[in-house]
Structure 1
Amino acid sequence: MDNGTMAGRSCGKRFTCSKMLTQTAGIFFAVFAMTLALFVTEVRAQSYSFTNVQVEGNQRIQTSTIVNRLGIERGQSVTGGQLNDAYQRLLDSGVFETVELTPRGNTLVVEVQERPTINQISFEGNRRIKDDALTEAITSQPRRVFSPDQAEADAARVAEIYSAQGRVAATVVPRIIRRNDNRVDLVFEIAEGDTVEVERVSFVGNRAYSDRRLRRVLETKQAGLLRTFIRSDTFIADRIEFDKQVLRDFYLSRGYVDFRVNSSNVEFTRERDAFFLVMNVTEGQQFSFGRISTISEIPGVDPAEYQAALKVRPGVIYSPSLVENSIARLERQGLKNNVDFLRVEPRITRNDRDLTLDVQFALVKGPRVFVERIDIEGNTTTLDRVIRRQFLTVEGDPFNPREIRNAAERIRALGFFSDANVETREGSSPNQVIVDVDVVEQPTGSLNIGGSYSVADGFGVALGLQESNFLGRGQSLGLTLSTAQDAEQYVISFTEPYLLGRRLRFDVDLGLARQNSSFASFDTKRAFFNPALTFDIGEQSALQLRYNWDNSEMISRPTVPNGVVIASEIAQGELTSSSLGLKYIFDSRRSGLNPNAGWLFEAGVDAAGLGGDNEWVKTSAKAIAQTLVLQEEVTLRATFEAGAFSWRGNGFSRTIDRFVLGSDTFRGFEPAGVGPRDLSNGQDDALGGNYYAVARFEAEFPLGLPEELGIRGGLFYDVGNLWNLSDVNTGLDPMNCTTPSGACIVGADGSFRHVVGFSILWTTGFGPLRFNFSKALSKEDFDKEQSFDLTLQARF
């Protein structure tokens, strides 16, 4: 027999055996399934009827409550499935650890073991977060039934609180301690762990702006030298989403309309003790405004008048905020023209060829909807009128959704509330809406303790008490106590931002001051009262009307001789000035047309003679211009200041009445180190001057050091002059002068001084430090040069 036949017979035998086994197994399983089905049918078919229900093991829960929860009535026929449903209902109630149902004849025995109640809740291992804050976060409470699932959820919430503070490695484990009477103590064992810092923040895809510039935008910061005091360098997951949004806003406000954040990757370092944050972005092209036009779809409304009200011009870098401001401007123009229900629709046309966006503002008629009322809730301290005055809309006015949103932003900007929601709903009719304002108040008082050091005044301590919502009226009340080595000041200040219910700001300062002059041989005492009214006269301009009452005295120091001029001024004793002043302020930054540049101009005049002892006129002006260049890495700033003092009364003016240049006004010299001086009687006292003019030019830039150090550099050039003493007693005896020239007063004619210098700016967790190293290129022999200056302002 050949191999093929042998193989065929062998396969046939195996097939026959396998077939027989399969048939046998099939018969066995069929018999088993039928038996099981009969058994289950018998069980399911079995029914019970109970005339009595006996509950055992319950201590707190009444028997009647358990029986009602069962849902089984006496004498009712129930199946095994219904018993199982009753068992599940008791277990799902959440108050029993175990439940057993046992039929005993016509009696159903229910054995339960109740869950324990919570005796007390405590936290162990928490040092960074107080117990009170953690207690508010959990739902478990004493004297309530203990639930393991609820305790685990509470532990997760506590862990989230630690994660929000950068302690992502924190662990929270709930434990129970058994007590008598079926009670337990719930203990949350906390291992806080260390904060996980952000070691590096970097970007991929950015070309227009450097990593250094973009890192200044983000809320998340890299870990620096003062990481112990700075919490923004710890990793918080929720903060990443906020950083994405502020990054989008940054680019959109600079014309990058196609900007997007592709991804944000967070990775552990190799040592797993810090994070690397990498943001992948696509910048796109920068767009500018193209053609700006206005059309009207409302009969009788002239678009030319509204076009003239626009401030945006072609060529300006595109920004959504400028479009919003323009819409608000046109809607306000509609209110002036008594055009109700005016709506402005911006219609934007994109021109990819020249990278411009044409904006057409369409004046259309909105729906006839009125504001029925404004409901305010949640303000237990703040008066309704403080919130209501943030709305330019009142009951009965046409409804303007944009104005309601702006009012909501103004309410949040007050700083009185931790949360403020403004929503609208339909009123008593479809054409009316109700504005609901729901606020959550927060503490508005503050206590500031600070330390300061300056070359002029030495070390000092400042204590400040501030209440920004005094008696819930939206007023500000402050008390400042400042004492330095050579200067003391005690001031009470009060501000009413809406005097008489109008947008009229009222400020008043009342105080006492004492200063040991660092530039002359006398001390000064002052008492002052300064009320002021400030109001807007334009979108970018304001006017301030102020009054100043000042009682001052120059006091001779014991054992220290005075120069002849200073002695004659001290001899005048206490003098009072009563002056009225006017100040004009123009700030281009209000319009927001250029986020990288702006300028400020201030000019004022004060006239004394409304009573008091002194009569004089003092004028001053200041202009500051600033811009950012080179990918906004370098700040260029120019400042011009000038002033004139004219004495109009009898006698002579005093040094403390005239202008004196300090180190903050003119660098490179000691306070009052330039200008006319009294050299009589062997002294060297600064006398101040009637006129001054100063120009300061400076640039601030990165030094290439790691950004987390917070150190930048600066260059500056100052030029200035202080001169004229036309109202000083110059009839002095030359014999009292000890100078080689025999002159008692020098520098009255004035000369321009020139100073160059280098600055190191260090932003610390305590405040800004500035080191100035300067060299006077042009000065007088009697000037007091100062080649180094350090200023520290600390708050903690």
Structure 2
Amino acid sequence: MIQAERALSQRGNARARLLRGVAMGVFLGCAGLSTAIVTPAFAQGYSFSQVEVQGNRNVDAATILKLTGISRGQTLSAGALNDAYQGLQKSGLFEEVAIEPQGTRLVIRVKEYPIVNAINFEGNKRLKDELLAGVIQSKARRVYSPALAEADAASIAEGYREQGRLAATVTPKLIRRSESAVDLVFEITEGKTVEVERLSFVGNRAFTDRRLRQVLETKQAGLLRNLIKKDTLRPEQLEVDKQLLRDFYLSRGYVDAQVMDAAAEVARERDGVFVTFTVKEGQQFRLGNISAVSEIEGLDAADFEAALRLRPGTVYSPAQVENNITRLENLALKKGLNFVSIEPVVTRNERERTLDIAFTLRRGPKVFVERIDIEGNTTTLDQVVRRQFRTVEGDPFNPREIRQSAERIRALGYFSDAKVNAEPGNAPDQVVVNVDVEEQPTGSLSFGASYGAASGVGFNVGLTEGNFLGRGQTVGVSISTGSDSTDSSITFIEPSLLGRDLKFKFSAFYRVSDNQDASYDTRLIGIIPALEFPVSESSRLEVRAFAKESKLTDVYAGTVDDPATPEDETDLATTPIIQRDAARGGLLSTGLGMTYSYDNRLTGLNPKGGVLLRFGLDYAGLGGDLDSVTATALAVAETKVWNEEVTLRAIFEGGAVHMLNNENSRVTDRFFGTPKIRGFEPAGLGPRDLASDDPLGGNLFAVARFEADFPLGLPEEYGINGGVFADFGSVWSLDDVAGHNGATVDDGFHLRSAVGVSVFWNTPIGPLRFNFSKALSKQDYDKEQSFDLTISTKF
């Protein structure tokens, strides 16, 4: 029993050893197979004693071999052959490429791109073939390039994008004419204009969407969307709009305002886009303590502090700060101090929301202007650009003055773009100011139309060149006609006489009136040379000479009871006052005059409004037939209220004519009440002969007008706003009041007043204004006008 068990145990151990042996053999066999698989194989090498190029017609074999980088006898790997193939493909010269090793011979087969026989455009209506041909780089009689054709298609699509047609597609296609010639056709699907359907704002609390839309260059599509071009989306314009919004908030004291984003979402049909501006307004800050501090030894800051024009409590504006820095810099120059830097140090008071500004006077670096280089002005003379600089070669360099000069150059209107920058000169203390401008057309031919309920339809044509012969001079000719007048004029303006800020103006005019509501007509001809120059930052003075001849024509000489006319006709009898004026014939008036004007709107310091003051005085008596003094005055003040949605405006105007040497004024010298007072016809109020009903005009007039413009709640893209007005005033006083056989001539002061509503419509062809008025106080003989439509348009 024990022996049997021992025998079984021995057989079991033998089987176990056998299984272990088999397993080890299998493992070793698999290991050997695995080793054979992963053993790297050496790449096959090629060496060619002959390289043959086939299929080439225009590109020679040497050029092809150079593109492959292969030379005879060179040992090449399979990877090198692939690189040679890729080099030929990337050259853009071949439609098909093949490289075939054949023993010791390498065959390179190519199929060249065909020659472009003609280039055509299909499907384009908005952009003409001539314009598109100037956009693309592909040319006829040159080798076709697919990459260039695709780039041309992208350029054409970009042209349509600038026109607001984001859905436009352009596909280049080939039409085979022969094996070696093709026609290149750009198939264009223009699509619809992608209009800005909505401009929205997120994060604005101080100003409404309506007010912010007025700031943007981009506009919403409205009723006249086919004529308005600013309602098409231009992505690059959105960056400009973001800066405009930022400047808008800064000028109103929101120093932390940010425009975070301008997102444009295209409609599913790709015919409209919705633009959303995300703004972060922050808090509005006002001015706190204002002071001037000197860090220059021996320089007292008292005079500089007295020159500041900032008031604590007013809303902070960067323009105000810049303006005052300029004032202090000019004061330093007057004191003979160069290289004085004015730096505003701003301290924030978060609790009071005020900004304390200390204008610090420091010694600036001694840097001079080496020279001013001007490029790009093909028509405009260098001197026209150069005179916009207050700095010349050799002067101390002032970065702020350079920036202001750039703004003046852009404001000329002669250039579509103007860039001004400074770079190091030939010495460490010198800089070169570079001016790069791009000319634009400065001439214009304008046609216009006007309409008044009383005056009827009128037309005008004008030809103006704003940069005559590249000298910056203005030359203009205009002719306008209406139902009762004809006016023609010639104007010449030299803006910089003798190279200074001295404007020379010359005008000549010829005016003829055909008064439908009077028994006389007038003719006026004259010339006026003038000089205009600045008196201060916001005011200018014009001095002038004048020579005018005035005459009454077609004066009816009948009487009220003229027996020569049938009984059923009414004679248009002329008042003896007009007859006496006409009997004097044509009278020459020569003399001198001046006009002083103050306009703080020019500085832009108050973004909500401003004040315009104007006073004129003319003395006639230097020869001629008339001796008189005429004075006029105008004051305009306006401001925006209710988050700048409503504009309030007050206008005060008056005038007086005083004749010398016991002379009497004539109707051509006197004032009439309209359009100064609305609600009345032209010449419908003022002194009048009650027998002949002739308007006579007055030696004196005074009027006060009050207006308010406001939105009507309509979509602003319609461009329709409303307004209300109230006018008060009168025209009165005559030198001669002798009428028909003692009949009354009323020249007394009678206060007239009228109220009304207006509808403003800004259309692409010009601003329309509808006035609906009602005279509240008037004389029985005054002639009312309850409705008036005015159009002033250029197209």
Q: Normalising by the residue count of structure 1, what TM-score does the alignment of the two structures yield?
A: 0.91
* Residue in structure 2 matched with residue 9 of structure 1 by the alignment: none
Q: Report the residue type matching 2:387 in the other structure.
A: R
Q: Write the distance in 2 (CA, Å) between the matches of 1:269 and 1:100.
A: 48
* Deviating more after overlay: 462-471 vs 483-492: 483-492
CA apart distance, 1:233: 2.1
How far does residue 731 in structure 1 lie from its aligned partner after superposition? 4.4
**1:784 counterpart letter in structure 2:** K
Task: Decide which moves more: 144-153 or 560-569.
Answer: 560-569
The SS at the match of 2:64 is helix
Give the partner amino acid of 2:772. Answer: F
Once residues 47 and 605 of structure 2 are traced to their aligned partners in structure 1, the CA distance between those partners, rounded to angstroms, is 85
3-state SS in 2 of match to 1:54: strand
Matched, 1:678 2:689: yes
User: Structure 1 residue 25: deviation in Å?
Assistant: 8.4
Deviation at 1:193, TM superposition (A): 1.1
Structure 1 residue 545 displacement after superposition = 0.3
Residue 162 of structure 2, aligned match among 161, 164, 184? 164
User: Is residue 667 of structure 1 aligned with residue 666 of structure 2?
Assistant: no
Q: Which SS does the other structure have where 2:488 is aligned?
A: strand
> For 1:625-774, what aligned pairs fall within 5 Å after superposition?
625-649=637-661, 652-663=664-675, 665-680=676-691, 683-726=692-735, 728=736, 730-732=737-739, 734=741, 743-745=743-745, 747-774=746-773
Deviations along 1:216-239, one digit per CA (max 9) or x if unpaired, are 112222222212211222333332
Instruction: Choose 687-696 or 373-382, whichever is displaced more.
Output: 373-382
What amino acid does structure 2 have at the position aligned with 1:716?
Answer: F
Secondary structure at the aligned position of 2:361 is classed as strand
The C-alpha deviation readout for 1:571-603, integer Å capped at 9, x for no partner, is: 222222112101111112234332112111111
Using a 3 Å threshold, how does the CA distance of structure 1 residues 67 and 205 change in structure 2: closer, same or farther?
A: closer
Instruction: Provide the secondary structure at the position in 2 that maps to 1:641.
Output: strand
Residue 323 of structure 1, CA deviation: 1.7
Check whether the contact 1:164–1:238 (CA below 8 A) recurs between aligned residues. Answer: no
Mapping 1:618-629, distance limit 5 Å = 618-629=630-641
Shift, 1:489, TM fit: 1.9
576 and 101 in structure 1: CA distance in 2 versus 1, 3 angstrom threshold:
same
C-alpha contact (below 8 Å) 2:555/2:579 kept by paired residues: no
The one of 59, 62, 65 aligned to 1:61 = 59
Cα RMSD for the two superposed structures:
2.5
- 3-state SS of the aligned residue for 1:327? helix
Q: Given the alignment of the two structures, is residue 582 of structure 1 paired with residue 597 of structure 2, yes or no?
A: no
Structure 2 CA distance for partners of 1:264 and 1:24, relative to 1, 3 Å: farther
Asked whether the equivalents of residues 510 and 528 of structure 1 are also in contact (C-alpha less than 8 Å), the reply is yes
Query: Residue 516 and residue 158 in structure 1: after superposition, are their counterparts in 2 closer, same or farther (change >3 A)?
Result: same
Tell me, yes or no, if the aligned pair for 1:372 and 1:432 is still in contact at 8 Å. yes
**Would the alpha carbon gap of residues 637 and 532 (structure 1) be closer, same or farther in structure 2, given more than 3 Å must change?**
same
The structure with more radius of gyration: 2
Compute the displacement of 1:33 (Å): 4.5
Number of the residue aligned with 1:470: 468
- Whether the aligned pair in 2 keeps the contact of 1:626 and 1:638 (CA below 8 Å) is yes
Residues 556 and 570 in structure 1, CA contact (< 8 A), matched pair in contact too: no
Task: Report 1:410-429 matches (<5 A).
Answer: 410-429=408-427
Deviations 1:69-91 (A, max 9, x none): 34434444444444433333333
Deviates more, 1:139-148 or 1:310-319: 139-148
Residue matched to 2:99: 101
Cα distance in 2, alignment partners of residues 227 and 776 from structure 1:
38
CA displacement 1:393-439 (0-9 Å, x = unmatched): 11111111121121112112211112222222222122211112121
Conserved 8 A contact 1:456-1:518: no
| In structure 1, distance between residues paired with 2:697 and 2:288 | 54
Change (3 A) 1:579 1:48: same
- 1:533 and 1:24 map into 2 onto residues whose CA distance is 112
Given candidates 133, 149, 155, the residue that maps to 2:153 is 155
Tell me: CA distance 1:478–1:65, structure 2 relative to 1, closer, same or farther (3 Å). Answer: same
Q: Per the alignment, do residues 432 and 270 of structure 1 end up closer, same or farther by CA in structure 2, a change over 3 Å counting? A: closer
User: Secondary structure at 1:589's aligned position in 2?
Assistant: coil
Q: Distance in 2 between matches of 1:193 and 1:115?
A: 32
Distance (Å, rounded) in 2 between the aligned partners of 1:698 and 1:24: 106
**Amino acid in the other structure paired with 2:730:** N
Q: After the TM superposition, which of the residue ranges 516-525 and 425-434 deviates more from structure 2?
A: 516-525
Work out the CA distance in 2 between the residues paired with 1:167 and 1:442.
Answer: 26
SS at match of 1:759: strand
Counterpart residue number, 1:14:
none
CA distance in 2, matches of 1:22, 1:708: 86
Paired amino acid for 1:669: F
Measure the CA separation in 2 of the matches of 1:633 and 1:650.
Answer: 53
For residues 34-79 of structure 1, the C-alpha deviation after alignment (integer angstroms, 9 at most, x for no partner) is 4xx43xx241xx23142x4433222222333333434434444444
Q: Indicate conservation of the 8 Å contact 2:43/2:77, yes or no.
A: no
1:244 CA displacement: 1.8
CA 1:160 to 1:687, structure 2 compared with 1: closer, same or farther past 3 Å?
same
Q: Which amino acid aligns with 1:603?
A: F
Deviations 1:246-301, CA, capped at 9 Å, x for gaps = 11111111011122234444335577643333333222211001111111222232
1:786 correspondence with 2:795: no
What residue number does 1:511 align with? Answer: 509
Q: CA separation in 1, counterparts of 2:445 and 2:25?
A: 94
Shift of 1:567: 2.2
Q: How many angstroms apart in 2 are the aligned matches of 1:697 and 1:405?
A: 39
- Alignment partner, residue 457 of structure 1: 455
CA distance in structure 2 between the aligned counterparts of 1:21 and 1:486, rounded to whole angstroms: 121
1:641 to partner: Cα distance: 0.8
Q: Distance in 1 between matches of 2:473 and 2:28?
A: 95
Q: Aligned pairs, how many?
A: 760
Classify the secondary structure of the residue corresponding to 1:626. strand
In structure 2, the CA distance between the partners of 1:72 and 1:280, relative to structure 1 (3 Å rule), is closer
Q: Retained in 1: the 8 A contact 2:167–2:271?
A: no
- CA shift, 1:185, in A, is 2.5
Which of 409, 432, 435 is the equivalent residue of 2:433? 435
Q: Say which SS state the counterpart of residue 441 (structure 2) adopts.
A: coil
Equivalent residues of 2:638, 2:649 under 8 A apart: yes
Contact 1:420 1:440 in 2 (8 A): yes
Q: Which moved more, 1:595-604 or 1:147-156?
A: 147-156
Instruction: Classify 1:671/1:120 alpha carbon distance in 2 versus 1 (closer, same or farther; 3 Å).
Output: same
Report the secondary structure of 1:590's partner residue: coil
- Which residues of 2 match residues 64-103 of structure 1 at below 5 A? 64-103=62-101
Alpha-carbon distance in structure 2 between the residues aligned to 1:564 and 1:710: 50
- Higher mean alpha-carbon deviation, 486-495 vs 121-130, is at 121-130
> Counterpart of 1:611 in structure 2: which amino acid?
G
In structure 2, the CA distance between the partners of 1:155 and 1:256, relative to structure 1 (3 Å rule), is: same
Q: Is 1:556–1:562's contact at 8 Å kept on the other side of the alignment?
A: no
* 1:27 to 1:572, Cα distance in 2 relative to 1, 3 A: farther
- Matching residue of 2:493: 495
Q: 2: CA distance between counterparts of 1:162 and 1:26?
A: 68
Task: Tell me the residue number matched to 1:189.
Answer: 187
> 1: CA distance between counterparts of 2:373 and 2:297?
35
Indicate if the aligned counterparts of 2:285 and 2:316 stay in contact, CA closer than 8 A.
yes
Whether contact under 8 Å (1:312, 1:593) holds in the other structure is no
Distance 1:407 1:22, change over 3 A: farther
Residue identity opposite 2:173 in structure 1: R
Structure 1 residue ranges without an equivalent (≥5) = 1-17, 735-741
Deviation per CA, 1:347-406, whole angstroms, max 9, x where unpaired? 111101111011111111222221111111111111110111111111111111121121
Structure 1 counterpart SS, 2:214: helix
Percentage of matched positions with identical amino acids:
53
Shift of 1:337: 1.9
Q: Which residue identity lines up with residue 187 of structure 1 in the other structure?
A: V
CA distance in 2, matches of 1:733, 1:219: 62
Q: How many Å separate the matches in 2 of 1:274 and 1:25?
A: 69
**In the TM superposition, what is the alpha-carbon distance from 1:31 to its structure 2 partner?**
4.1
Question: Secondary structure of the equivalent of 1:394?
Answer: coil
TM alignment of 1:12-31, pairs within 5 A: 31=36
**Higher mean C-alpha displacement, 248-257 vs 176-185:** 176-185
